[in-house]
Structure 1
């Protein structure tokens, strides 16, 4: 009888040990997963966000691809004038939804070369003020600056990101002195 009680006690102790151990493993796994998410979040930097934008817009170096994606819709609002130190603006009106998606800029900025071929130089984000009376949270940090632009979608917050053509005034500056003041194809 004592042996049976001893065996039951031992079995109970073993069972308790297994339950405690498995709980500890689950808690440790949850902690590890949280730490991994935290490390991943810390790894994302402004530089990595800008690289994402550059990668997402790489296909738009071909203006034909931009047209296919809706940036050159002849019925959409696309300014026909060349803006000094910015270039031509091609807007995808289907993306103007009031949200900031860094990998889907609402506007692509192009500068023609002397032969008239368009070269992608940057991107611009637009959030209509009718949807958002204040600018959206954009890129991480506080270096991005949204401008109050009355010319886009009846008044919008706009944010330039010079991810293609380097801008000595900063990646988020409104104007880029490296972009010609006048249309190079007009010469």
Structure 2
């Protein structure tokens, strides 16, 4: 009895497959276009969901004290960090520089002093040493992220900024952000 039911079910599936594949070329083209649009939208949603993941993972670092407790430190402990125009201060977690891209564990946090002089998180930066990875890592989904060849990080690294807090009119992955002050606001 089970074999007969299985055979009937298989024949029903085969019949459905024949009906579906007998569509006209015009209908197939429309379906392919619709699938392509869904695919493009899915990629965008995937990038958005990845950026939301980064935001959630770094939320605690809005408190600079929490960032220090997590191992993010001034790269120049005997000389205060240099303010980089349109980027801010860079605080590095050396323990995360391992040659792997992990979107939820950026190697560098970017801060700018607010009106009260307290450091405010504005973005993150990823660093993958070129000695470990001679080519830029895959990074985020899509082709919007462009890794920079940065000789100043870990003896030469591929670096990628992600402006997850301070919106960047040049794009979330642009190296410089015109919305970040050119000079250290606490110097004024």
Please say whether Structure 1 and Structure 2 have the same fold, judged by a TM-score greater than 0.5: yes
Residue 141 of structure 2 corresponds to residue 140 of structure 1: yes
Q: Within 2, Cα distance between the matches of 1:45 and 1:77?
A: 42
SS in 1 for 2:139: coil
CA RMSD between the two structures: 2.5
Residue 99 of structure 2 corresponds to residue 124 of structure 1: no
CA contact (8 A) 1:99 1:127 kept: yes
CA contact (8 A) 2:57 2:105 kept: yes
Q: How does 1:1-187 map to 2 (within 5 A)?
A: 14=1, 16=3, 20=6, 42=42, 45-72=46-73, 80-187=81-188
The alignment's TM-score, normalised by the length of structure 2, stands at 0.75
Q: Which runs of 5+ in 2 are unaligned?
A: 11-38
1:124-179 CA-to-partner distances (Å, cap 9, x unmatched) read 00000000010000111101000000000000000000010000011000000000
Q: Within 2, Cα distance between the matches of 1:78 and 1:54?
A: 30
CA contact (8 A) 2:75 2:92 kept: no
1:113 deviates by 1.8
| Residue in structure 1 matched with residue 35 of structure 2 by the alignment | none
CA contact (8 A) 1:67 1:73 kept: no
Larger Rg: 1
SS in 2 for 1:47: helix
Q: Within 2, Cα distance between the matches of 1:77 and 1:47?
A: 39
1:47 deviates by 1.0
Q: How many residues align?
A: 156
Change (3 A) 1:66 1:155: same
1:74-130 CA-to-partner distances (Å, cap 9, x unmatched) read 787997110000000000001000111111100000001233200000000000000
CA contact (8 A) 1:95 1:106 kept: yes
CA contact (8 A) 2:86 2:180 kept: yes
